Amino acid sequence: MRQEDQILQGETLLRYLDEKTTAMAESVYANPVSDYICPDQAQVEKEQFFRKGPINIGLSCLLPNPGDYMTHDLTGDPILLVRRHDGTLGAYLNVCRHRGARVADGCGHAGAFTCPYHAWTYGTDGALRGRPDERSFADLDKSGLGLRKLPVAEKYGTIWVSPAPGPAFDIGQLLDGLGPDLAAYNLESYHHYETRVLRRELNWKMVIDTFLETYHLQFLHAKTIYPILHTNLATFDAFGRNLRMIAARRTIEQLRTTPKDQWNIIPFTAVVCVLFPNTVFVMQGDHVETWHAYPSGDGMNQSTMRVSFYTPQPPTTEKAKAYWDKNFDLLMATVEQEDFPMAEGIQRGFHSAAQNEIHFGRNEPALQHFHKSVRAALVGLDRV
Ligand code: FES
Ligand SMILES: [Fe+2]
């Protein structure tokens, strides 16, 4: 967060504490249950958000060195991302131009990609470099048979990709004012500690919802997070379709005795940003977490998520590693044992005759903004 914003946000949080209040929306918002269970909406979301994009993939340090690559299949299309020799990123459809096999799997380091089927070989720039028994294909110009390129961009230490070939895009424009906030974290210097993949029986938006209010901390997380964070208290700011919500740690009281020009509010807060549509970025004081939620299965009731943990430096000692492992395990235990079982119960209840709408209170402005933004973005969805 930018220094000039730190004082403003710190003052706001201390005022909310004093006045026992939180950021408030204009009114309560009724969100249709169909938002989570309508097959038509799920189809439009899949086409517009996940197969067209652009979407955030993670931080730049997922691929720190030339030759580093990763495959990514959760949007529904097979993507191959690689750090090219000039340091820029390449993104391609992970589909061989001979007969369509995957040219790479998992992640790793490579100077070229050789298709496992008949050994056509592609450079990290995607160009077709060689094919065995060249005479049998000599009629086909190699230059037109490179891996199909996808639009990819990198800025503020974040990576974004469009899963379908198309025009270039601008990350600054996508972030709509949130960019300088991310830039201030110097994410380029971070280290990718670990990524875990989870599958749950809930709509992908429910994964995002999990992080968008502090109203539940006192109740659902009475023994885990509530002792650390203030409940029902957070700032809210919209940046176009994105948003930022700042929750206060109980240690924030220390700010009261620190001169304002020396304020660094990051250790005393948890900063949650939605990078529209499917990414939650959390600055957790001493590390960063990202959550990327994708529809899976029927697109309505199942989702797959990538949870990544990034640290300011690579751990160099066993003690440091044990510290980060404990942190990651605590995070996972909280969401796996408390948030997601609750959310799965909600998802099942959506199919009952209980109600056609759920309600986001005035104290849940981030939830309101996220769901209004999703609806506004879904071109072609019949609004009921
Ligand atoms: S499918 Fe890749 S070389 Fe044949
Ligand atoms: Fe929670």
Q: What is the pLDDT of residues 147-171, one digit of tens each?
A: 999 999 999 999 999 999 999 999 9
The percent of residues above 90 in pLDDT, for the chain, comes to 97
Q: Which of 80, 93, 97, 98 is the pocket-test mutation for ligand 1 (most atoms within 8 Å of CB)?
A: 98
Point out the ligand 1 atom lying closest to the alpha carbon of residue 100: 1
Q: How many CB atoms lie within 10 A of CB 309?
A: 21
329 backbone dihedrals φ, ψ, rounded to 5°: -65, -40
| Residue 367: both structure tokens together | 């939830």
CA-based torsion, 145, 150, 151, 154: positive or negative: negative
Query: Any idea which ligand is nearest the CA of 147?
Result: 1
Q: What is the mean pLDDT of residues 95-103?
A: 98
Q: What is the mean pLDDT of residues 97-114?
A: 98
Q: Which residue, 148, 147, 86, 102, is CA-closest to 122?
A: 147
Contact status, residue 190 vs residue 61, Cβ threshold 8 Å = yes
Q: Which of 115, 122, 145 is the pocket-test mutation for ligand 1 (most atoms within 8 Å of CB)?
A: 115
Residue showing tokens 């996808």: 150
Q: State residue 382's pLDDT score.
A: 62
CA-based torsion, 37, 38, 42, 48: positive or negative: negative
Q: What distances in angstroms separate CA 37 from CA 97, 135, 349, 368, one per listed residue?
A: 37, 54, 11, 18
Q: How confident is the model at residue 383 (pLDDT cuts 50, 70, 90)?
A: low
Average pLDDT, the chain: 96
Residue showing tokens 């989702």: 303
264 backbone dihedrals φ, ψ, rounded to 5°: -125, 105
| Residue 157: both structure tokens together | 């230490």
Number of H helices, E strands in the chain: 10, 19
Ligand 1 mean position to 80 CA, how many Å? 16
Ligand 1: which residues within 6 Å by Cβ?
Answer: 96, 98-101, 115, 117-120
Residue showing tokens 């959390």: 282
Pick 380 or 376 by higher pLDDT. Answer: 376
Contact status, residue 349 vs residue 33, Cβ threshold 8 Å = no
Q: Which tens digit of pLDDT belongs to each residue from 245-280?
A: 999 999 999 999 999 999 999 999 999 999 999 999
Query: Any idea which ligand is nearest the CA of 247?
Result: 2
Query: Any idea which ligand is nearest the CA of 130?
Result: 1
Q: How confident is the model at residue 384 (pLDDT cuts 50, 70, 90)?
A: very low
Q: Which residue, 50, 18, 341, is CA-closest to 201?
A: 341
Q: Is the pLDDT of residue 46 over 60?
A: yes
User: Which residues partner with 161 through β-bridges?
Assistant: 55, 152
